Amino acid sequence: MNGDAVSPEISVDVAVVGGGIMGAATAWQLTQRGARVALCDALRPGHDMGSSHGAGRIARFTYSESIYLEMARRSFDRWSEVEKTADVTLLETTGSWECGPEHSGELAELIEALERHRIPHEIWDSVESNRRFPHFNLPRTSRAVFQRDGAVLRAERAWRSLWHLLQVAGAALLADAPVLSLDIGPRGVSFRAGATLVRAGVVVVTAGAWSRELVQPTGLDLPLTVTRETIAYFAPASNASASATDHRVGAMPTLIDYHSPQPFYALPMFEDSTEEPGVKIGWHHAGHEIEPTRIPNTHFGGGDADAKIVERLVSYVGDRFPFLQMRPLHATSCLYTNTPDYHFVLGRHPGQPRVVIGTGFSGHGFKFAPVVGEILADLATDTEPCFDLGLFRPQRFAEGPSPRRRIA
């Protein structure tokens, strides 16, 4: 999967720049449609400098906006297809559980959306929640929504599986191949990916935290900001009672806690997770803004945890998780690429129809990757996408007031 096996000059129908989960899913969709595809990345799949590394991600239907809810529904089906084709397990059902103060607006909107879309769910007061989910100490005046189909997604396995499927499908996979600039002509796009000259009819940019730098010279300045987000892993405490000890997938749901303006979230442990043991806990959008380097390199990105955020996670565990140890096993980081409204950027470049953009996933994109891949593949092949992309238009930031910023 590197440039060695590929000639120094290749011509394809579509080139995808950025081989994280979104680029890999897009390239996979394109190969399924018979397109000749190149997928280029400055690094290698599984690297921890961007946004797609780590064992797990929350996959849930619990969105208050209909479009995300419908995209999530479709994504679950599409993930199952990837599972079958690659012969791997990616989605592990564990239920999703979200809590907040009794009169939380976020919970009210969520419940309304679940009802509107007839998604089965249960609403629990604190007594019921603490009985059903004793892992978490829900305050007396709070409530929770449980949705039984929520899952944990095997993130890094999904990413590597897609690269493997692409290799089998004969896509040109260019790893360790940074793209410095795009040369856009009337009949196509050309660029160097490492040592290889790539010529393509259309380019799809899925460059995560580096998208702004790559797209800016083409006449579109996306107002993306990049934050380094810290997560920490906590082991079950030895004093855990029999009913509450099981923090593994299947026994503990995923959690989003709306008690603070920036929600905390948690993922149960994988049965076999040796490289990332423990319950993963994070604080959504609490990270510091950073300046991305011009192109990805192995000295920038994930890795360094913010000690102050780790401290806050420890105190959160102390307040809310009676059966977890307060000393984290491990803390690390990962990048969010944020739009001002936290909605994605999915669309054609307004001034360059041969450039398609998929970025700005604002910390909640992973679960949607197969559907994002379908949408970007549609745009790259002049097919009408099956979702209305109005909310995601790349040019929306220059056109007036943004929609309300979403929360989680």
Enumerate binding residues for ligand FAD (CB under 6 A). Answer: 17-23, 40-43, 50-52, 57-58, 178-179, 206-210, 214, 229, 231, 282, 295-296, 334-336, 361, 363-367
Helix residue spans in 98-138 (DSSP H): 105-116, 126-132
Tell me the closest approach of the beta carbon of residue 196 to ligand FAD, in angstroms. Answer: 12
As a whole number of angstroms, the distance between CA 124 and CA 6 comes to 57
Residue 42 vs 380, nearer CB to ligand FAD: 42
Residue type, 226: V
Residue 43 vs 130, nearer CB to ligand FAD: 43
Task: Give first-to-last CA distance, the chain, whole Å.
Answer: 35
Residue 130 vs 210, nearer CB to ligand FAD: 210
The closest residue (CB) to ligand FAD is 20
Tell me the closest approach of the beta carbon of residue 96 to ligand FAD, in angstroms. Answer: 10
Q: Within 13 Å of residue 255, how many CA atoms lie on the same side as its CB?
A: 32
Tell me the closest approach of the beta carbon of residue 43 to ligand FAD, in angstroms. Answer: 4
- What is residue 268's three-state secondary structure? coil
Tell me the closest approach of the beta carbon of residue 109 to ligand FAD, in angstroms. Answer: 19
Tell me the closest approach of the beta carbon of residue 216 to ligand FAD, in angstroms. Answer: 12
At which residue do the structure tokens 């679950």 appear? 76
Residue type, 133: F
What token pair was written down for 16? 């995808």
C-alpha closest to that of 348 among 90, 6, 14: 14
Sign of the torsion angle spanned by Cα atoms 20, 96, 280, 88: negative
Yes or no: say if 24 and 166 are a contact pair by the CB < 8 Å rule.
yes
Residue 114 vs 179, nearer CB to ligand FAD: 179
Tell me the closest approach of the beta carbon of residue 102 to ligand FAD, in angstroms. Answer: 26
Tell me the closest approach of the beta carbon of residue 385 to ligand FAD, in angstroms. Answer: 18
Residue 121 vs 284, nearer CB to ligand FAD: 284
Residue 130 vs 283, nearer CB to ligand FAD: 283
Mutual angle of helices 369-380 and 21-32, in 10-degree steps: 60
Helix residue spans in 124-187 (DSSP H): 126-132, 155-169
Residue 331 vs 334, nearer CB to ligand FAD: 334
Yes or no: say if 25 and 81 are a contact pair by the CB < 8 Å rule.
no
